[in-house]
A and B are shown apart, each in its own frame.
Chain A
């Protein structure tokens, strides 16, 4: 677990569900949520990966449960929601973090399969997660739902067009769902994450490393660096906590400032 500066135990007594909890930002958020006092219910496709996250959480003194599911499959999501309710007795935090990306391919060469894949893995998965986990939060009358978006949803050239379009739809899902929960204190927000090294983005980092220009990664952002898993998890923890109690329906960019600028074109890596 990161030894960074933490805001304390804002999630004491809370229960958090995280999809895509086996690696990357999902794992980082699991560790951070647990560190802030939440019991964590991890969902992922790979039993080994979520079990490893659970072990890390337990070793740090936290409480973690695992459930294997593919969040693009409706029956899986429905079963996961029932299991989370049974094991946790309820939950206040839902981090619909699972997503996918694809290879950079010129627009005119992209295939329908590629677009279906991006839509299913990023939008349908988030929709199914809200659809099946949301009602218990609505009935409880409070909670925080966090969707995983990307700086690729806000501007071109950060990820593939199919990925960017799908994440734009995730942004609209956050806004729409926030309104669907009107009259309750259930909030829905999305994190538009910049470049963070995870399994999803490893090929980009490997490419830069192989060319010896890793230090230039993130160079077009005002902060002139890439983000860390811990930083992304910190934003998720803020949105999960009552510190963000008046924020809903928003897309929070955590991208080193990328979406605030007019980059002068592709950086020569």
Chain B
């Protein structure tokens, strides 16, 4: 491998693994990866019905793609290792990993969050990308190439009321990704984080409407998005760019796509 090839992964001979690939940003990215000529895509999620439906929608976007749903909870260490083996068994290699998992916690003031929920909020939000990155890493190191993309959120960069624990979890993902980039560069592996703010039209967005605090917060933020509230497709476009050879020199970054809500 020459230096100019380092960090390059061609879509045409790639397997893309998308954790949280059955809806929202993950599914939108899967469709765009398929359209961009990626031949093999694994969609990882917990919900079997949503998984099968997602498979269908990716297939109908591009019939020649080999897309397979793999049921797994990526928040458990033992599962992630078995999952990676299973994906390698299905496709033989993994070039691109996109972690687009979301926790269920809605923003709320710290004083209102029960003590015994703090740990699970933190772990549920932060551990998925960390465990999955760790699980694919030996394979990518062995092959001296790979792209890891972790979806976090602007809460990692911008102190926001109601996002103390969520913000801590997102900052964990971002710092993990940056340090991973520095570890991975010697093996031709790039790692970047995507830090959206609110994303319109997703299941998470719907869920947030149910909490009065969260819906008010999102409404305020939405008014600041002069370029329009970002949608899943906007984040998918960013993921594709970051995974593509066009971004071969970009690693260890946390990039926001938020329609102008903030410039952190």
Q: Which residues of A contact B (CB under 8 A)?
A: 39-40, 54-55, 58, 61-65, 86-89
Contacts and interface: CB of A to CB of B under 8 A. Distances in A.
Contacts of B89: 39-40, 54, 58, 63-65, 87
B123 interface: no
Identify which of B68, B85, B89, B91 gathers the most chain A CB atoms within 10 Å of its CB.
B89
A125 to B, nearest CB: 24
B92 A55 contact: yes
B182 interface: no
B124 to A, nearest CB: 23
A89 B76 CA distance: 14
A86 B82 CA distance: 8
Interface string B38-60: 00000000000000000000000
Nearest 3 A-B pairs (CB), nearest first? A63-B89, A87-B85, A63-B90
A89 B89 CA distance: 13
Interface of B is mostly: helix
A108 B91 CA distance: 52
Interface of B: 66, 68, 82, 85-86, 88-92
Contact of A39 (B68, B86, B91): B86
A65 B85 contact: yes
Given A61-B66, A87-B85, 6 more contacts: A40-B89, A54-B89, A58-B91, A61-B68, A63-B89, A65-B85
Contacts of A87: 85, 89
7 contacts: A39-B86, A54-B89, A61-B68, A63-B90, A65-B88, A65-B89, A88-B85
A138 B88 CA distance: 28
B206 to A, nearest CB: 33
Interface of A is mostly: mixed
A54 B93 CA distance: 12
B196 to A, nearest CB: 33
Contacts of A58: 89-92
Contacts of A88: 85
A40 B86 CA distance: 10
Nearest to B66: A61
A58 B88 CA distance: 10
Contacts of B86: 39, 63
A62 B91 CA distance: 9
Contacts of B85: 65, 86-88
A40 B88 CA distance: 12
Nearest to B87: A63
A87 B66 CA distance: 22
A224 B91 CA distance: 41
Contacts of A39: 86, 89
A217 B152 CA distance: 66
B70 to A, nearest CB: 9
A40 B68 CA distance: 17
Contacts of A40: 89
A54 B90 contact: no
Nearest to B92: A58
A65 B84 CA distance: 12
B213 to A, nearest CB: 42
Contacts of B92: 54-55, 58
A164 to B, nearest CB: 37
A3 to B, nearest CB: 20
Nearest to A54: B92
Contacts of B82: 89
Nearest to A63: B89
Contacts of B90: 58, 62-63
Contacts of A65: 85, 88-89
B135 to A, nearest CB: 13
B154 to A, nearest CB: 38
Nearest to B81: A86
Contacts of B88: 65
B248 to A, nearest CB: 28
A33 to B, nearest CB: 13
A113 B117 CA distance: 70
Nearest to A41: B89
Nearest to B89: A63
A62 B89 CA distance: 8
A88 B84 CA distance: 11
Nearest to A57: B89
A85 B248 CA distance: 37
